[in-house]
Amino acid sequence: MKEYLIVDGYNIINAWDDLKRIGNENLEYAREKLIELLVEYATFKDIKVIIVFDAYLVKGARQNVEEYKNLEVIYTKENQTADSYIEKLISQFKRSDVIRVATNDFAEQQIILGKGASRISARELKIEIDFAKQKIRKRTENKKIQKNTLDSIIDKETLSKLEKIRRNR
């Protein structure tokens, strides 16, 4: 059983105030920030995340896929919405797979549920990501910083000889 999180990229960007603000200035940077957050989240949760950005109104756009470790970014082709791509994608998974779709689009949520996936709102996803970041931060803080000192990597006899040499200078 594998777990997947499918994210309607622009829907999430427009739902989160910080990303929406960035997107109003520079949409590419907002996409990069979302990808960065989701790469960290996917790694922490050990799940496969698929972000779908639609190119519905982009003339001549071809479908493009970018692969990362636990994350895949899909840019749809011209005249294809993220919603239609996600619907088709859900049908390709095994029944035993756990599939969640992050979107605030009510119509899309109904279709997702009808196809056997579960939905997660943009707000719920933000809460999950913030919680994961908090857990990562705590783990990092709790790890002791080990110093590589000579006495930690050589035997006592050799250390004693080196100490005698040092003192006789």
Instruction: Classify residue 58 as left (phi > 0), alpha (psi -120 to 50) or beta.
Output: beta
> How do residues 101-126 score in pLDDT, each as one tens digit?
999 988 787 788 877 789 999 999 99
Number of domains observed in the structure of the chain? 1
Q: What is the pTM of this model?
A: 0.78
pLDDT at 52: 96
> How do residues 47-70 score in pLDDT, each as one tens digit?
999 999 987 556 666 777 888 889
Residue 29 has pLDDT above 70, yes or no: yes
Which residue in 43, 44, 22 sits closest to 31, CA to CA?
22
Q: What dihedral angle (degrees, nearest 10) is formed by the CA atoms of 140, 128, 2, 91?
A: -150
In terms of pLDDT, which residue wins out, 161 or 18?
A: 18
Residue 156 has pLDDT above 60, yes or no: yes
Query: What distance in Å separates the CA atoms of residue 81 and residue 86, rounded to the nearest whole number?
Result: 9
List the domain range (segments joined by +) for residue 85: 3-167
In terms of pLDDT, which residue wins out, 38 or 95?
A: 38
